[in-house]
Amino acid sequence: MTDTTLPYAAHGDPHHLGGLQDVALGHAGPASKRIVTAYGFWIFLLSDIVMFSCFFAAYAVLLRQTAGGPSGGQLFDLRSVAAETAFLLLSSFTCGLASIAADVRNARWYQLAMAVTGLLGLGFLALEAREFSDLVARGAGPTRSAFLSAFFTLVGCHGLHVSAGILWLLTMMAQVYAKGFRADICRRLLCFALFWHALDIIWVAIFSVVYLLGSGT
């Protein structure tokens, strides 16, 4: 099939939509592996966000079911939450710097940015662990009320994701150290960056809905 049989092709492609011309010419082939991998991981992340939305819905429904126990306003320490937010936001930023360093194949800056990202993530986890153990010590553990069960499930699930992210981060540092910036390693790096940024997006929802809205009750 030639271009002349398709009237669309004659007008060029001012918005770079590609579609029809790719169909007509037929030699573009499937998308590159980098796009396919990252797109599949993007869909996984969206399904993860849907899972979190169920926990958010449970928390919102159970917010006032404290069974005579303490409510969010009496439990939450907003200064600790602000510190956790700062750690996670900065780690998202340094993760972005690591992606740039990986794209320009600068191993030293990459390892430095990834190390800072991991340390900030560990700081976040340490603060969260301290908060959880403090709550349990005050008799406000997950078994105290429906509200606290929902709280620990939601925030703990995010904490588990961050822990898994840190393990993945260490793996990526080791892989780049041992094997360099190979194409398959760079695809994993892209997925890791997506994962880490998505965790920060979920944390935005958590500190707004769980802590700031929850402490108002």
Partner 1 sequence: MSEQQVHDFHERHDLAPGDEEEVRIGPRLIGYVIGLGLAILLTATSFFIAGTDLVWQPSIPVALVVLAIAQMGVHLVFFLHITTGPDNTNNVMALAFGLLIVFLVVGGSLWIMSNMNHNMAPMDQIMQMQR
**CA dist., res. 103 & res. 113, Å (int):** 13
> Is 57 one of the binding residues for partner 1 (CB under 8 A)?
yes
Q: Does the footprint of partner 1 cover residue 20 (CB under 8 A)?
A: no
Q: Should residue 133 be labelled a site residue for partner 1 when binding is judged by CB under 8 A?
A: no
Cα 25 to Cα 39: distance, rounded to the nearest angstrom? 24
| Token pair belonging to 5 | 């049989």
Residue among 139 and 182 whose Cβ is closer to partner 1: 182
Residue 110 as a binder of partner 1 (CB under 8 A): the answer is no
CA dihedral 71, 75, 78, 80 (to 10 degrees): -150
Q: Could you tell me which stretch among 148-156, 159-167, 171-179, 198-206 binds partner 1 (CB under 8 A)?
A: 198-206
Q: Would you count residue 177 as binding partner 1 (CB under 8 A)? A: no
Q: Which of 188, 182, 184 is nearest to 107 (CA)?
A: 182
* 85 near partner 1, rule: CB under 8 A: yes
Closest CB 81 distance from partner 1, rounded Å: 8
Select from 23, 28, 160, 164 the one that contacts partner 1 (CB under 8 A).
28
One of 2, 26, 68, 104 touching partner 1 (CB under 8 A): 104
Cβ-contact 127, 84 below 8 angstroms: yes
**Residues 120/138, Cβ–Cβ less than 8 Å:** no
DSSP H helix total and E strand total for the chain: 8, 0
* Contact region with partner 1 (CB under 8 A), list: 3-11, 52-60, 159-167, 171-179: 52-60
If the CB atoms of residues 10 and 104 are measured against partner 1, the closer one turns out to be: 104
CB atoms within 10 A of CB 81: 20
Q: Does 157 bind partner 1 (CB under 8 A)?
A: no
